[in-house]
Structure 1
């Protein structure tokens, strides 16, 4: 692996969750396709992108800053899920909520390790 972020478990989890969000938004009604579905997908993508960007050999302080951005993006995804509770099932909501909550804990642990 050529890049540091490829070795990070939190990045891998974020990539997988972003793919899951992509599947979820495809099930949204057509009137939602360019409204909140776009927002939630960008936020989910941003989690992994900020982890990758922050890991590029910069200082630990800079990496911590980008991990903070990832946490914020994760919280944005969860907030979007709340807004779409009428569209997604309670099971889907709970599954995503739990997954993103666990990811936040992992990102915070990584950030606190510096």
Structure 2
């Protein structure tokens, strides 16, 4: 027995993305705990949360809307990655890895959303 969203690759990848961000933020300065650390964690977690919420008992139109929220959350997480890189909290290598991961995930969510007909 499982929830429908657990079978979605975009949900699985977004869960992995959120965990990668969490691990990365463990090295952020303590004075960022209530600012950038909190913001990027919430944004990255929101990607999977919106996919799962939109998938359960929603119309196709509503599901598409929640997938849009996931895409926006990814954009927010990427902006936070830029902030972290600019503040020298993360390496260029870590930035590039997570940037590419988020870009690929965004394209997968968009492609999935485009398959959902109203």
Report matched runs for 1:69-108 at 5 Å: 69-85=69-85, 86-108=88-110
Aligned residues: 114
RMSD between aligned residues: 0.8
Instruction: Find out whether 1:110 has 2:112 as its counterpart.
Output: yes
TM-score by length of 2: 0.94
Question: Does the 8 Å CA contact 1:25/1:33 hold for their aligned counterparts?
Answer: no
| Long gaps (5+) in structure 1 | none
Can you list the C-alpha shifts for 1:9-33, whole angstroms capped at 9, x where unaligned?
Answer: 0000000110110000001111112
Give the TM-score taking structure 1 as reference length: 0.97
Q: Which residue of 2 aligns with 1:35?
A: 35
Structure 2 unaligned segments of length 5 or more: list them.
Answer: none
| Aligned counterparts of 2:61 and 2:68: Cα–Cα separation in 1 | 11
Native 8 Å contact 2:47 2:74 kept in 1: yes
Q: CA deviation at 1:34?
A: 1.9
